Amino acid sequence: MIEPHGSTTLDARYVKDEQARKALAAEADRLPSLLLNSAAAANAVMLGAGYFNPLKGYQDLADALAIAERMSTADGLFWPVPILNLTQDISGIEPGERVALRDPNLPGNPVIAVQTVDKIERVDSAALAKIVQGVFGTSDPAHPGVATFNSHGRVLLSGPIEVLHFSYFEKEFPDTFRTAWQIREAIAARNWKTVVAFQTRNPMHRAHEELCKMAKAAVNADGVLIHMLLGKLKTGDIPAPVRDAAIRKMVELYFEPNTVMITGYGFDMLYAGPREAVLHAVFRQNSGCTHFIVGRDHAGVGSYYGPFDAQAIFHDKVPAGVLKIKIFEADNTAYSRKLQRVVMMRDAPDHTAEDFVQLSGTKVRDMLAAGQDLPVEFARPEVAAILREYYQSQDN
């Protein structure tokens, strides 16, 4: 199986041994505590699940600045996005101490991890601006990722962590949330050698379905990993349980049996476009996938990034050989009225816009909310029914 990024074995920061985990929880009760923001809690989940291998914890300011500038830590590890624990208040916490990190997303704010604090650093405005510009490619406060990042605070706590649990993801998504090592185990159990990963934060329509099938056929893969984001999105995006139900129905009815794994991961969307696409590739390699689909406007928002910037970054800024996973570059896919099938638009140069069945997100939402059927060329009827029920419930 493909090796994880930066190491030969996966180093998940979750404490798997039950007795050791109980001892750590008991220790946490005696430690000073810090209430995390949602992004730092999501980073703890990803570190615990092994997705951020080979990182052992939160990065320091030198790493954050180096990553923002050249996608490499201060000591030379390729890494695309800083993994940080930024906060506003560090009352009672000193460097060298261990601190109990509390989960902001669960009632009572239970301890999610214990951190050994190597450094406490204040991030000045110039440093913060460099990190934001490097990661997001913009400092526009209207960008949802920039706005969220700028709200996290100016005090940075770095150091390794030991993770006790996976926040709300295991309980709310017991059939979907999986760690990187669990996905590796499932791939091995299926004896899959070549695996294509598909990232989604949205329901999958006909175009997405066919894209997965095209990629699988193109690389002669044994299977497809549909890997959905289960964490926080921007206002207006469809909640994870609805997406999960829609995707499961699509796979059940329209994919060959035993060719798809449906899983999810616990992270908050960054909307960082190209940099986030590279991060997505890193943790799909950590999950054991050999190929990763990067499509048009991958991980983007608004008009902040060019339609193929998330593909170009792998050619222009990712050094050759630093990632073992291969990128499958996809164009927009849509149903062709001429050919009566879904195609990549770049493969139909003789088509005009009217030859494709395409709907804007706004048009789709309006039709579903009004109880109208989506064109079968655009969405499977069974998937559309699940989405229609959700949108109509929002209006009641």
From the CB of residue 91, how many other CB atoms can be counted at a distance below 10 Å?
A: 6
**Cα torsion through 369, 208, 241, 185, rounded to 10:** 180
Catalytic entry in 201, 275, 284, 388: 201
* All residues at 6 or more sequence positions from 96 whose CB lies less than 8 Å from its CB, including other chains: 117, 118
Measured distance CA(87)–CA(151) in Å, rounded = 9
Measured distance CA(50)–CA(56) in Å, rounded = 9
Measured distance CA(297)–CA(199) in Å, rounded = 12
Q: Which residue has the tokens 């709907």?
A: 359
Measured distance CA(59)–CA(67) in Å, rounded = 10
Catalytic entry in 150, 202, 248, 365: 202
Report residue 173: phi and psi, to 5°: -130, 60
DSSP 37: P
* All residues at 6 or more sequence positions from 360 whose CB lies less than 8 Å from its CB, including other chains: none
Answer yes or no: 13 catalytic: no
Answer yes or no: 43 catalytic: no
In sequence order, the β-bridge partners of residue 129 are none
DSSP 363: H
Measured distance CA(20)–CA(379) in Å, rounded = 48
Measured distance CA(124)–CA(63) in Å, rounded = 15
- Using alpha carbons, list the distances in angstroms from residue 39 to 20, 35, 43, 100, 211: 26, 12, 6, 16, 30
Give the residue numbers annotated as catalytic, written as ranges.
Answer: 201-202
